[in-house]
Structure 1
Amino acid sequence: MPVIDARHLTAISETALLTLHQRATEAARADGVIDDPMAIALRDSLGYDYHHFGRTHQATALRALAFDIASRRYLDMHPRAIVVALAEGLQTSFWRLDNGQINWLSVDLEPIVQLRQELLPSSDRLQHLAQSVLDHSWMDRVDATDGVLITAEGLFQYLERDAVFDLIATCAERFPGGRLIFDSVPRFLSTYSQRRGIRLSRQYTAPPMPFSFTAAQYDELRAIPGVRGVYEIEMPTGRGIFLARTASFVYRSRRLERFRAPTNVVEFG
């Protein structure tokens, strides 16, 4: 891959570089929790000072694994489905999930789409659409005949609540039988990010996250017409005994629902 300058990415788009770096660093470890050689190659093909982001951790890779688990459960039942990846940034999920039959529509802003098309392998089953996910016209490009899986990884927390719920409601109306996977953050983290910012290093502070949502609020989604079911995906086992035991406790306790950052699955009826 050629080396392409990525310093033009800013604000929320820059988080695509952050999550790519986190995932690729984890994948490069001998004991890494994720197998993602495409992420390593993509990171190394971009001209960017990743030390700008500070220390790495395995949480981003574990989130990607949770999305993979939830996606495969749907694709096992609908192997020819179309996957719509909303604002997927520099994710490499297509290559981890590809069963040789799925179709993939990646919807993102022009700078991200340009990088993806320049640096990632092409496929006649992988299409890109350069526009905001809040422009619902992307739905007109979706052939739902064989099933629809919509993913929003690392997206909704950066949007306003009304925009998120309007998008979910429109998807529920347009894609009965489909499924949506999204992650979210608890209220305390959202509030902290807006008041003080989440400083990852001396050089980098993550963008504010106005939208918070946890498993304790699932009734709000169940009230949307066309939503058949809502549930949380379990957190994959991380590296290290302490982390594994702690995460298992946190993600199994109903009393801690409002404090954790869940991966959520919404089924459309």
Structure 2
Amino acid sequence: MGHPDGEKIDASALAGVSETALLTLNGRAHQAAHPRAIIDDPMAIRLRDALDVDFEKFGRRKGQEMAVRSLAFDRAAIRYLSDHPKATVVALAEGLQTSFWRLTEALPDAAFRWVTVDFAPIIELRERLLPSSPRVINLAQSALDYSWTDAIDTSDGVFITAEGLLMYLQPDEAMGLITQCANRFPGGQMVFDLPPVMVKKFAPKGMRSSRRYRVPPMPFSLSASELADLVNTVPGIAAVHDLPMPKGRGFFFEKVFPAFWQLKATRNFRGAYTLVEFG
């Protein structure tokens, strides 16, 4: 990890949606290093510390929501991989996530394989800074270039993650990607997250996280009832599960947010962690 001569690696080439990978990495690393950590992610800390990035520009958001989201994704993956220990996990637009190592720690006997799909600058950073593994393949391409689907071994099951991806796509691109996965990977599952549907109305140019940084626009979202209806509108989707919010630390993240998340009255106004099963 890191560079042999101790020099940090410049990540300033990341722009647009790819740059959000630095924001989420910083949040996860901060939470993993906290004395009352809510996520066990030593690899995220090492990765952040190996990068020469002005993380302060992202503002004060120290990432409980990012760590909690990763926990929700991990739980869904662990459930699937417990039943399909040799499955292939496809991490679409993976950015600087370190999920492979968290899941390997959680399931030491599993032999799942991992395919990272992301743009070349991200793949380059991953290959320089993260340990290589014979179980990990990197594909330097857009998730919307569907040729990646041909590289996936489907014989032992497929689990697809799209963490922090779909909201940045145009609605037809996002729906096209979900539809393509449903069509290509029967028997597989896909997990993704979406922001509250109000975000695209209230922040069409993207939300500011600090004076120096604005998160890119999020043109795509669906409410909980629209998500539930995917069973009827997308061929190949057999079931849609609205996943609960894992507990974080402190009154709001431990009590208020997870309870708010479960309320019937607010379901269509909050964001979503969604698991879809392909028939």
TM-score by length of structure 2 reads 0.94
Aligned to 1:21, the other structure's residue is in SS state helix
Deviation, 1:57, is: 3.3
- 2:236 corresponds to 1:236: no
Alignment of 1:141-180 (within 5 A): 141-180=151-190
- 2:104 corresponds to 1:90: no
How many residue pairs were aligned? 268
Amino acid at match of 2:44: A
Which residue of 184, 202, 213 maps to 2:222?
Answer: 213
> Which deviates the most, 145-154 or 252-261?
252-261
Amino acid at match of 1:133: A
Q: Is the 8 A contact 2:197 2:270 kept in 1?
A: no
Amino acid at match of 1:82: T
Which residue of 7, 11, 20 maps to 1:6?
Answer: 11
Cα distance in structure 2, aligned partners of 1:110 and 1:89: 11
Amino acid at match of 1:87: A
Deviation, 1:253, is: 1.0
**Matched residue, 1:203:** 212
Amino acid at match of 1:217: E
Q: Is the 8 A contact 2:26 2:63 kept in 1?
A: no
Render the CA deviation track for 1:41-77: whole Å, top value 9, x for unaligned: 0000010010011111311000000000111011111
Cα distance in structure 2, aligned partners of 1:225 and 1:9: 36
**Matched residue, 1:76:** 82
Q: Is the 8 A contact 1:176 1:226 kept in 2?
A: yes
Deviation, 1:191, is: 1.9
Cα distance in structure 2, aligned partners of 1:187 and 1:237: 23
Deviation, 1:220, is: 3.4
Cα RMSD for the two superposed structures:
1.1
Specify every segment of 5 or more residues in structure 2 that has no aligned partner in the other structure, as ranges: none
Q: Is the 8 A contact 1:193 1:207 kept in 2?
A: no
**Matched residue, 1:266:** 276
**Matched residue, 1:27:** 32
Aligned to 2:204, the other structure's residue is in SS state helix
Cα distance in structure 2, aligned partners of 1:169 and 1:265: 14
Q: Is the 8 A contact 1:185 1:214 kept in 2?
A: no
Cα distance in structure 1, aligned partners of 2:98 and 2:64: 16
**Matched residue, 1:189:** 199
Aligned to 2:229, the other structure's residue is in SS state helix
**Matched residue, 2:54:** 49
Which residue of 219, 222, 225 maps to 2:231?
Answer: 222
Deviation, 1:18, is: 0.4
**Greater than 6 Å deviation, 4+ residue runs:** none
Aligned to 1:33, the other structure's residue is in SS state coil
Amino acid at match of 1:232: D
Between the aligned residues of both structures, percent identity stands at 50
Aligned to 2:267, the other structure's residue is in SS state helix
Which residue of 15, 19, 22 maps to 2:20?
Answer: 15
Alignment of 1:82-161 (within 5 A): 82-98=88-104, 99=107, 100-161=110-171
Q: Is the 8 A contact 2:170 2:219 kept in 1?
A: yes
Amino acid at match of 2:54: D
Amino acid at match of 2:195: V
Specify every segment of 5 or more residues in structure 1 that has no aligned partner in the other structure, as ranges: none
Deviation, 1:213, is: 1.5
Amino acid at match of 1:83: V
